[in-house]
Amino acid sequence: MAIKKKDIATTEVSSGSISSKQTEGRSQGQIIVQKFVRHRVAMAAVFVLIFIIILVYTSSGIHLGTEANPIHISGWWPLYITDIDPEGALASVCNGGMTGCPTLDLFPEFIDGSPMQFGAHPIGSDVIGTDWWALVTRGTEQSIIVMIIVGGLGIILGTIIGAVSGFFGGIIDAVLMRITDMFLVTPTLILGAVIGSRFGNLGVVPLAVMLGLFAWMGLARFVRTEFLTLREREFVDAARVAGASNRRIIFKHILPNAMGVIIVSGTLLLSGAILSESALSYLGFGVRAPDVSLGLLISANQDAFMIAPWLFWWPGAFIIIIALSINFIGDGLRDAFDPRQIRTIGKKAKTIKEAKA
């Protein structure tokens, strides 16, 4: 139990001495960036996320537009989800007759008896011979689009509504918050399913836009609370006395101070968006065939898990990696924006502890 007390003493003392050395002569933004960059897990998550996005978009290419005038830019991966290769799938058989097994073999010949190879379908193909890497990267692409649109719309709408509500107060606040409550009472998945069952077949962008229009409520509440406290502060009075307009006070004075809350709950919104997109697609209310998304790929192949596990592992792995990195980034951002928290990880924390003990 003695250790416990020491821990607390350490955090308090270190926040005094170390932070002043670290923050000398730096702006608020620089301190936050520096704190974030020092958060090793969060930085690793940033790199993983960027790597995944680049990998996915370059390999599958960019495919947008409507059926009448599509925009297609092919990626470096030779196959697309419309290319079917039944012979290739038949050629690679395992698990007692299951076709389309992964051809990737990372072990050299002296370990498992077959030579190291990449093959035509390194992570396998589905029953009719569509390359699984093409499907998974295309699905990830769609999920990322949904995530960005839903998250972006949610953040923008939530910030505006929360800011207006918190800043002006009074009747505007009451009305806006009752509307927010109204949306909050409706369970998210139910709302999503209704939207999805209508807009799912229009393609991924309209679906994402519609979902985004109903994703702002939680964030709006947080932003409102933040604005309620910030608008009573002296610097707001000072700005008003200096003759600043409401718009200027909101955007130039209060919003930068509320950025922490917005960014942190925004990242949570993003990871929530990718999970709820996959859940909706899984239920059949999200992205529809012939287009693909990660949730759709899992739901279509879950029964084949015992005989064709690769159809199940890869889409799931992509969802988890993306959601996990966003959650870690969110955690790092939260620590970076929290002035009370001086996180010292690993060796450094130990040396500080020992020095103070």
Partner 1 sequence: MMTLIVLGSSFLSYCLMAYSSNPLSVFGESTEKNKEFLKLQMIRELQLDVPPPLRFFLWLRGAVSGLWGQLDLGTTRTGYEVLDVIGRAIPITFRLVIASTILAIVIGITIGMVTAIRQYTRFDYSMTFISFLLFSIPVFWVAVLLKVYLAIEFNNFLMSPTIPIEAVIGFGVVAGGIISGIIGGTRKFYFSMLLGTSVFFSALLQLASVTGWFLNPGLGIAGVGILAIGFAVMIVQLSTGLANKRSLIAGMSTAAFVIACYYPFQLLLNKESGISTIFLLFSITITAACFIGYHVEKIDKRVNIRTAALTAFLSTLPIVLDRFMQEFNGYYNSDSVHGRPVPTLSQASDVLTETELSNFWFTGLDAIMHLILPTLALTLISFAGYVRYSRASLLEVLNMDYIRTARAKGLNERTVIMRHALRNAMLPLTTILVNDFAGVIGGAIITEQVFGWKGMGSVFKDALDMYDLNLFMGVFILGAVLTIMANLAADLLYGVVDPRIRIRK
Nearest to 200 by CA among 119, 288, 269, 135: 288
The single residue among 18, 283, 291, 356 that binds partner 1, judged by CB under 8 A, is 283
Gap between the Cα atoms of 343 and 15, Å rounded: 9
Q: Which is nearer to partner 1, 217 or 249 (CB)?
A: 217
Residue with tokens 């093409």: 134
Smallest gap from residue 115 Cβ to partner 1 (A): 31
Judged by CB under 8 A, does residue 257 bind partner 1?
no
- Binding region for partner 1 (CB under 8 A) out of 86-94, 110-118, 158-166, 276-284: 276-284
Instruction: Name which of 157, 158, 155 is nearest 225 in CA terms.
Output: 158
47's CB contacts (< 8 A; 6+ apart) are none
Tell me if 185 sits within 8 A of 218, measured CB to CB: no
Residue 269's identity, in one-letter code, is L
Question: Minimum distance between the CB of residue 324 and partner 1, rounded to whole angstroms?
Answer: 4
Does 260 engage in binding with partner 1 (CB under 8 A)?
Answer: no
Which residues lie closer than 8 Å to 157 by C-beta, 6 or more apart? 212, 213, 215, 216, 220
Q: Is 11 in the site for partner 1 (CB under 8 A)?
A: yes
Q: Is 355 in the site for partner 1 (CB under 8 A)?
A: no
Between CA 34 and CA 149 the distance in angstroms is 28
Report if residue 53 touches partner 1, rule: CB under 8 A: no
Q: Does 298 bind partner 1 (CB under 8 A)?
A: yes
Shortest approach of partner 1 to residue 38 CB, angstroms? 15
Contact present, 227 and 254 (Cβ < 8 Å): yes
Question: Under the criterion CB under 8 A, does residue 81 sit at the interface with partner 1?
Answer: no
CB of residue 117 vs partner 1: minimum separation in angstroms?
28
Residues 182-241 touching partner 1, rule: CB under 8 A, are 182-191, 193-195, 197-199
- 167-186 positions binding partner 1, by CB under 8 A: 178-179, 181-186
Residue number, 83 or 303, with CB nearest to partner 1: 303
Q: Is 355 exposed, middle or buried (0-12, 13-18, 19+ CB in 10 A)?
A: exposed
Coil, helix or strand at residue 239: helix
- Answer yes or no whether residue 295 interacts with partner 1 by CB under 8 A: yes
Number of residues that bind partner 1 (CB under 8 A): 52
Residue that has been written with the tokens 């608008």 in this structure? 231
Compose the 303-342 pattern: x for residues touching partner 1 by CB under 8 A, - for all others. --xx-----x---x--xx--xx-xxx--x--------x--
* Residue closer to partner 1 (CB basis): 254 or 311: 311
Q: Is 166 in the site for partner 1 (CB under 8 A)?
A: no
Q: How buried is 257 (Cβ within 10 angstroms: 0-12 exposed, 13-18 middle, 19+ buried)?
A: middle
- Choose, by CB under 8 A, the member of 279, 296, 308, 333 that binds partner 1: 279
Told to check if 120 binds partner 1 by CB under 8 A, we report no
Residues 186-202 as b or e (16 or more Cβ within 10 Å = b) = eebeebbbebbeebbee
User: Cβ(120)–Cβ(104) under 8 Å?
Assistant: no
Q: How far is the CB of 295 from partner 1 (least distance, A)?
A: 7
Residues that bind partner 1 (CB under 8 A): 1, 3-5, 7-8, 11-12, 178-179, 181-191, 193-195, 197-199, 271, 275, 278-279, 282-283, 285, 295, 298-299, 302, 305-306, 312, 316, 319-320, 323-324, 326-328, 331, 340, 349
